Structure 1
Amino acid sequence: MGAFTTMTSKGQLTIPKAVRDALKLVPGTKFFVTVRDGQVVASPKNRQVKDLAGMLGRPPSGEVLSVEQMNEAVRGIAGEEDERITRQWRDGRK
């Protein structure tokens, strides 16, 4: 699906209604905009991580974590990585 639109002097585009409807876009939807092979690509970020739950099936280990447990694990890893980077910076290493 595609449609033509025109960029305003402020760099704004209107997403045609047929495209908004097809993607279930609502006012306030955030987009990630990038350039790929000389084209503007705008990807809507209208899904949350929790919407993706279960799409890969049950984990091979059989262990199921809650969102809170996953968030805690990510925070722990991010904290460890921050400490490692800070140590390297202080030591003058790259």
Structure 2
Amino acid sequence: MPSATITSKGQVTIPVDVRNQLGLVTGDRIEFSFNEETGRYEVYPATRSLAALKGIVSKPAKPVSVEDMNRAIAEQGASAR
């Protein structure tokens, strides 16, 4: 099982095998999530490519024109005042 040591600044070097398995490269961010069922923290890559985001937002049922969007923005702005 891979392991690492925490430095005096609280930093950890993630072992290369773990980085490879998670698909992490220099500059990527990671997130820590506490799993209440196991009582352990889990590490997740927080950096995603633009291609990975494809399909997250579905197409609207009815197409919306730019004019409709501008009108909705103006109405929201007016009601916020």
Q: Give the structure-2-normalised TM-score.
A: 0.53
Unaligned runs of 5+ in 1: 64-72, 87-94
- Listed one character per residue, the Cα deviations across residues 1-22 of structure 1 (whole Å, up to 9, x for unaligned) are x511121222111110111122
Alignment RMSD (CA, Å): 3.9
In structure 2, the partner of 1:53 is 54
Matches within 5 A, 1:1-94: 2-37=1-36, 38-48=39-49, 50-54=51-55
Percent of aligned positions with the same letter in both sequences?
A: 32
Segments of 4+ moved more than 3 angstroms: none
Distance 1:50 1:29 in 2: 16
Residue 34 of structure 1 and its aligned partner are, at CA, apart by 3.0
Q: Which has the higher helix share?
A: 1
Q: Which SS does the other structure have where 1:21 is aligned?
A: helix
Distance 1:52 1:34 in 2: 21
Aligned residue pairs, count: 71
Q: Give the structure-1-normalised TM-score.
A: 0.47
